Amino acid sequence: MTRPASVSDWRERARARLPRMMFEYIDGGSYAETTLKRNVEAIERIALRQRVLTDVSKLQLSTELFGQTLAMPLLLAPVGMAGLYARRGETQAARAAQKAGLPFCLSTVSICSIEEVRAATPDPIWFQLYMIKDRGYMTALLERAKAAGTKVLVFTVDLPIPGARYRDIRSGLSGVLTPLDKLKRGVNGLMHPHWMWDVFLNGRPQSFGNLVEAMPNAKGTDDFSRWIGKNFDASVNWDDFDWVRERWDGPIVIKGILDAEDAKRAAEIGAEGLVVSNHGGRQLDGVPAAIEALPAISRAVGDRMTVLMDGGVRSGLDVLKALALGAKGVLIGRAWAFALGGGGETGVSAMLTTMRHELEVAMALTGCTDVRAAGDHLLVRDL
């Protein structure tokens, strides 16, 4: 394959290097994947205003979120099981992010523990929290995150139960597997020797580092979906925010908001930020694209809390569009997962360099010299 030049290229590199079940887990969504497609297509439909004869010799890409300076308004979103895309994958991605001057947010369901990732990086990371029924374990997990120096907690609220992800069933990642299914999955792994050597052999242990004590009988991905169904707390509601706040004294960002009324409630209860997100189209299919929900949410609460967005972002051009519609920063998930699966830490670094260049070009050609001043004046409204 030629040298990857875009996120789409990294996607194809990941498809070639990863076993089918791992690629489909990254690439897939829920049900018919309507929202997965809509996330991308809705961003593509947005038109930027090209402006000329503006001095763009000096561009300001850096911004500040929760007291932290970012080299550009971008951060790596929490992505589960990234340690199965490359050897100790979360540590590789975190190093690439911090070399680029960007935050990395570790998933609760990562392969590498928060302690391992923190030991591999010079600066504290962000941590994403899923609520499980065992609140004692949750308390201990938050204490571990604080001990690792974590400054920002991302509380994901749009997964009370797992979405219906058909690709994971077809690939053999989840569901009840027959002996023949397991044999086919093993053969597929053997057909990807680089992955087998890098991840399956050299990447051990392949347990969920933050949840080892909570799921002692789970055997890899076979039991993982069933464990989530039994242990993720579907009873979580707005009152539980107070439970989290009592145990966390730093900024809390609520991830998974798609409705302006929910955004107002998040502001009222004291969350410092939110992420406009539909979980990358992996939960409820048929809902609006994140970029479609962003403007109303930004208008409703943007003066009271930090509004971020994820979903469908595949380039620096997309980042500028999100900023123009009210986001203060953008999270990417699949983009870094594809680059990690396709090229490890080097791949993630290369992808982030590309995104930065794309953002610079988009800013220059729209006459935007400072990301902090991006607004809807950068957009064409009447097409």
Q: ∠ CA(104), CA(106), CA(107), 5° rounding? A: 145
Hey, is 59 helix, strand or coil?
coil
pLDDT at 287: 97
d(CA 162, CA 357): 36
pLDDT in tens, 235-267: 999 999 999 999 999 999 999 999 999 999 999
Which residue out of 192, 194, 279, 357 is catalytically annotated?
279
Residue 53 predicted with pLDDT over 90: yes
Per-residue confidence band for 217, with pLDDT thresholds at 50, 70 and 90? low
Q: Is the pLDDT of residue 220 over 60?
A: no
Predicted pLDDT of residue 227:
75
The helix, strand and coil proportions of the chain, stated in percent and rounded to the nearest 5, come to 50, 10, 40
The pLDDT mean for the chain works out to 94
Q: What is the pLDDT of residue 62?
A: 98
Give the three-class secondary structure for 2: coil
Given a cut of 70, whether residue 223 has pLDDT beyond it is: no
List b or e across 39-70, with b for residues whose CB sees 16 or more CB atoms inside 10 angstroms.
bbebbeebebeeeeeeebeeeebebebbebeb
Average pLDDT over residues 126-145: 94
Q: What are phi and psi of 38, to 5 degrees?
A: -65, -35
**Structural domains in the chain?**
7-166+228-378 (3.20.20.70)
Respond yes or no: is residue 192 known to be catalytic: no
